[in-house]
Structure formats: C-alpha cells, structure tokens
Amino acid sequence: MSGVLLAGPAVRAVAARAAHVTMLCAPRGASAAALLPHVDEVLVWEAPWSSARPPTVQEADVEGLVGRMRDAAYDAALVVAPAEQSPLPLALLLRMAHVPRIGAPLTEPPGSLVDVPHRRVPGRHDVEAALDTAAALGFPPGAGDDGRLRVLPAPDTTALTGNGPYVVLHPGAAAHARAWDAGRAAEAVVLLADAGHRVVVTGGPRETALTRKVSGDTAVDLGGRTDLRTLSGVLRAADVVVAGDPGPAHLAAACATPVVSVGSPGGSAERRSPYGVPAVLLGGQEAPVPATGRSAPDEALPDDVLRAVQKLMKESR
C-alpha cells in the first residue's frame, strides 16, 4: 500500500498529459490504487520478486501479464520503484509487451530495457524521485499541482468515530516487526485520554484482538470496522494520527493529517517519511525491520508519543 500511495503525485503528473492511466500493482496495493485520483484502471499482479512470499514464475503467470499488456497497447510506461528495488525485471516485461517508451529510476546500466533511465538523487524522497522520473519521461506535474499525496474525497465517518475532535492510534502493521508494542500503545491511549484527547483506535479485520487490548475502556475501538476508503475518512477527520505501519501513516498524509510515526517507515526515513504534512518520527526510524520479526528495542515510548501529539496540535493551531 505504501508504494502505491507514494506514487500518487507521479500518477497525477502522467494523467495531466495522458488520456487513460492504468496502474499495475500487487494485490495488497489494489485498494490504495483505487483511491488515487486519475487512475482509470488497476491491473493487479503479484510479481515473483517483490513480496515476502513471492509466487513462482509459473504461479505469477508472467506470460499472461505480458499478453494483457501487449493487448492494451500502452504508449508509455513509468516504472516507480524504491531505491532498494531494481526496476529492470518489470522493464523487461514491459519491453516484451512491446511498450515503446519506458522510463525508470536507475542506479545500474539499463541495457536496452529502459528508454529514459533517470538517475536517482541520493536521499531524495520516494515521492520526489517518482516525480523526477515522470518529468524525465515527459510528464511534469500539471499546472497548480503541489505534488503532495492525495486520495479521492473521503466519506463522513462521524457515525463510527462519534462527534468531537480525536486522535487516531493505529498500533498494528502488515509486517509484525513494524507493529507497536501493544502494552505501550495501550499506555499511550491512557496518557492521551488523561491529557484531554479523545482517542480512536483503528486496525484491520485480523487485528481486532489487538485493537480491543489497546483501546481498553478508554478509546473508541474501530478494529475490523473500516475498509481503506472508510479508514481514509477516519484519518482525514483526526487531529493527529499515530501509526507504526507506514501504510496508514502515508494514508494519513494523503488526507492532509499530521502524523506521529512510531516505527520503521520501511526504508530510510529520509526517503519514506510521511510526505507533505507536519510529522514527528519516533523510535528506530533508520533501523531495518528485524529479521526476527520482533519489535525494535528503541521503539517509541508512550510519553514521547504524547509530547509529539501535543507538539503537532500546537503547531497546527
């Protein structure tokens, strides 16, 4: 989900000069792709190289994907990839699909696979790197586009959250190592409530036990009660969002809501921090996600979270 949301500004740049935009993404990013403005079609495919449990080449039906892209007769393709992932495997498939013009960020020789290889500036945020590559391919941002993250208008979720201002705490994560410790999250809920903040705890269908524990008798528990579009409404109406998972953090940024990030953003904090909104980064932001799946020992403390929330709220007044 994170990569899809971070690609949003580059997608808008392409859409400003293209009649039809198709976004290719993994199944876990499809719902986020559907929330991006100016995406006309979402092509869902699980690549054999880009997930924790990748399918085999046969399971991924590479030939089927190439055939679908060939039939669609795309005029150009922009490959958006984080610095740690090579865009060349996908560029090869696009070339096999007879896409005549391909642009991609590269740190390696492209051979004949990429027509517009754009060398990424070290330390450049993933959002800006994607915009740089789009511009090099002939798709600069549209007039008046500020380049920030954006999603389609969110629904009114007052019926879920109740009336009045609130802070969202999203303790879970798709990768267990990025989840915030449940005990510390529960303590943060109490501290926030004691400081006068109403707290709403969010989580996916598989995180209901976690959100119940974190909410206790203090917070509104929305675990398992929101899809991604509804979650965007909950995040948009919040004063601040506290999240360990980069997905909800980036979704909050796309909703123009300040973010307290309490875990690894899934890469360099410089490149993948919440973009375009006031944010405070806590814990081991530069540390890689531990291979053991355990939480980082220097993760955020509840007192730090309270101070960060109060700082962002004060600055937004």
Q: What pLDDT is attached to residue 295?
A: 41
How far is 250 from 265, CA to CA, in rounded Å?
A: 9
Convert the pLDDT of each residue in 50-86 to its tens digit.
777 889 999 999 999 999 999 999 999 999 988 788 8
Helix, strand, coil share (%) of the chain residues, nearest 5:
40, 10, 50
Convert the pLDDT of each residue in 244-268 to its tens digit.
889 999 999 999 999 999 975 555 5
Average pLDDT over residues 282-310: 66
Q: What pLDDT is attached to residue 30?
A: 96
Sign of CA dihedral 243, 79, 28, 9: positive
CA atoms within 13 A on the CB side of 28: 15
Average pLDDT over residues 237-244: 96
Residue 222 has pLDDT above 70, yes or no: yes
Residue given tokens 């800006």 in the structure block: 128
How far is 189 from 231, CA to CA, in rounded Å?
A: 19
| Percent of all residues in the chain with a pLDDT value above 90, rounded to a whole number | 77
Residue length of the chain: 317
**In contact, 263 and 179? CB cutoff 8 Å:** yes
Average pLDDT over residues 166-176: 88
Question: Can you tell me whether residue 287 is helix, strand or coil?
Answer: coil
Residue 161 carries which side chain, given as an amino acid letter? Answer: T
Residue 19 carries which side chain, given as an amino acid letter? Answer: A
**In contact, 153 and 145? CB cutoff 8 Å:** no
Q: What pLDDT is attached to residue 81?
A: 84
Residues 6+ apart with CB under 8 A from 301: 184
Backbone angles phi and psi of 227, in degrees to 5: -90, -175
**In contact, 242 and 260? CB cutoff 8 Å:** yes
Residues 6+ apart with CB under 8 A from 53: none
| Helix ranges (DSSP H) in the chain | 2-6, 8-15, 30-33, 57-60, 62-72, 88-96, 126-136, 158-161, 182-194, 208-215, 228-236, 246-254, 269-272, 302-316
Q: What pLDDT is attached to residue 291?
A: 39
**In contact, 243 and 277? CB cutoff 8 Å:** no
